[in-house]
Structure 1
Amino acid sequence: MGTRRRIRALLAFGGVAVVALGVGGCGGADVEGAPVEKKAFAFSGGALTIDADNSELEIVPADIKDVRVARQVDGWVFMGDGPDAVWRLEDGRLTLRVECDAVASDCDSVHRIQVPRGVAVTVEDDNGKVTADGFDTALKIRSDNGAVVVRNASGALDLTSGNGEVVVEGGTTSGQVVARSDNGAVRLSLSAVPRRVEAVSDNGEIDIALPKASYDVDGRSDNGEVRIDVPTRKGSAHVVTARSDNGEVVVRNAN
């Protein structure tokens, strides 16, 4: 199961310290080789919230009426329980959990989610990368610890990562994009002239590639070079804000 590793756990029993060494046979979680489980959830409505923890998420729209999830879960625990996987959909909220409660553990999972077309999606992921591809409805995605990647979108985007890069690419034509990272780069590439783009990073570079047009640009960095390579015009209907506390800021024409 992947690279072997040694685990050292210091346990206290009645004041006596016990050191457990060399649980090397456990190895690492191998989620790619794990069995695939599938489930369909009855769904109605125009909005879905995905509430996940400790999982990578891959989300796409599809010509379906229900919400379909395929998951792979793998891992091990030392002196504890898990991995225990939970999935449920109630009141428009899809909850996905993988829990390992142990002295030492290595648990991993990936959930691939199909959403009915026309449904607006909100994602709240505490720990894991989130990828969304092909949405023409609004997307609001937050990952506390993981990258956020959006491709081929046309609806409004509101994207945040607490610790990871935020990337918009592919044939994305969204008219409004808000992207923030507390600790990571923000890289946006748009295929249609947007009305509004806001990119903010506390600690990372910002790179925005835009179709040819005149933009009202506010580009700033407290600690990094600022380069504005698109035509600019104050009062333009196409507004771009790009700010980094610590990193280069580039606003350029798309290739």
Structure 2
Amino acid sequence: MSARTASRTRRLAAFGAGAAALALLTTGCAGDASADGGAEPEHKSFALSGRTLTVDSDDSRIELVTGDGDEVRVTRWFTGRALLGSTPRADWTVEGDELKLRVSCSGIVTTCDAEHRIEVPADVAVSLRTQDGGVTAKGFTTPLTLRGSDASLTVEDVSGPLDLHSADGAITARSVSSSRVRARTEDGSLTLALARAPQRIDASSEDGSVTVELPEAAYDVRTKVQDGRTNVSVLEDRASSRVVSITTQDGNVTVRPAG
């Protein structure tokens, strides 16, 4: 199973029914699983009682964007096939202010592909956790918290407090104007590109390089590297109120001016 896609394929090494039975089953299966290959989008909208949206997802690519209006709007693309076993399905449920996204893809020789686009009211904070599916988020001015397992996280053009954690996947943040950023990877590279000088950055990686690009200013840069090289080329000042703290166990650290 790839850690960079929400597709999941399981194959049975010994198929006792033989080649003829397999060919018969194949004739009746659905088309190729691809969100871009003809799957009709489905839509769902719901209102929030509070100002925070919680998303719990697995086996799906997620796109988070800000939208107009007071409701959360979700668009889903899903395709799946199974030669034998349960019919693949995708479910979405809302409980309070939590949106739960699930994909069921089990059986013999199954393929599923799911993608969700979530449009969030501009004044709503988002807290998302996902397993096995990449996440992209763009345009948020409110607090944004993303937690991923087997998932890459990509953030762009955000200015609210930012908290990112990936257990197995790269983290990339571009055009970030947030004053406070926390980012941690356990197995993957970490890249933060700041568009405005932050007050505080806490970044760490257990196994992967960390690169931080900063606007012109003086920073109190604190690095701790167990196995790797450190290259800091921004203006450093231990008395600065702008603190950049970076730790890695196995990976290089680079802190450089934004280009």
TM-score (norm 1): 0.90
Secondary structure in 1 aligned to 2:63?
Answer: strand
Post-superposition shift, 1:250? 0.1
Paired AA for residue 137 in structure 1: T
Please give the per-residue CA displacement for 1:85-137, whole angstroms capped at 9, x wherever unaligned. 11121111001111112133221100000011110100010111011100000
Compared CA separation, residues 182 and 21, structure 1 to 2 (3 A): farther
Alpha-carbon separation, structure 2, partners of 1:132 and 1:225? 31
Determine if the alignment matches structure 1 residue 207 to structure 2 residue 187.
no
Alpha-carbon separation, structure 1, partners of 2:182 and 2:68? 28
Which of 80, 91, 96 is residue 96 of structure 2 equivalent to? 91
List alignment gaps of at least 5 residues for structure 1.
12-17
Post-superposition shift, 1:8? 3.7
Post-superposition shift, 1:78? 3.0
Conserved in 1, the CA contact under 8 Å of 2:35 and 2:115?
Answer: yes
Cross-structure match for 2:47: 42
List alignment gaps of at least 5 residues for structure 2.
1-8
Cross-structure match for 2:201: 197
Cross-structure match for 1:154: 159
Post-superposition shift, 1:19? 6.8
Post-superposition shift, 1:235? 2.9
Determine if the alignment matches structure 1 residue 123 to structure 2 residue 128.
yes
Task: Count matched residues.
Answer: 244
Indicate the larger mover: 215-224 or 51-60: 215-224
Cross-structure match for 1:183: 187
Alpha-carbon separation, structure 2, partners of 1:6 and 1:119? 38
Alpha-carbon separation, structure 2, partners of 1:70 and 1:28? 20
Cross-structure match for 1:73: 78
Cross-structure match for 1:64: 69
| Higher RCO, Cα 8 Å, sep 6+ | 2
Secondary structure in 2 aligned to 1:215?
Answer: strand
Which of 143, 150, 154 is residue 145 of structure 1 equivalent to? 150
Cross-structure match for 1:166: 171
Conserved in 2, the CA contact under 8 Å of 1:142 and 1:161?
Answer: yes
Counterparts in 2 of 1:230-249, with a 5 A limit? 230-249=234-253
Alpha-carbon separation, structure 2, partners of 1:149 and 1:188? 10
Post-superposition shift, 1:62? 1.2
Alpha-carbon separation, structure 1, partners of 2:19 and 2:122? 51
Post-superposition shift, 1:29? 2.1
Conserved in 1, the CA contact under 8 Å of 2:181 and 2:201?
Answer: yes
Question: Identity percentage over the alignment?
Answer: 37
Aligned residues: CA RMSD: 2.0
Alpha-carbon separation, structure 2, partners of 1:101 and 1:115? 31
Where has structure 1 moved over 6 Å in runs of 4 or more? none
Alpha-carbon separation, structure 2, partners of 1:246 and 1:118? 39
Indicate the larger mover: 243-252 or 77-86: 77-86
TM-score (norm 2): 0.88
Indicate the larger mover: 47-56 or 35-44: 35-44
Paired AA for residue 103 in structure 2: V
Please give the per-residue CA displacement for 1:184-205, whole angstroms capped at 9, x wherever unaligned. 0000000101011111111111
Paired AA for residue 116 in structure 1: P
Please give the per-residue CA displacement for 1:50-92, whole angstroms capped at 9, x wherever unaligned. 0111000001111211110001011212321132111121111
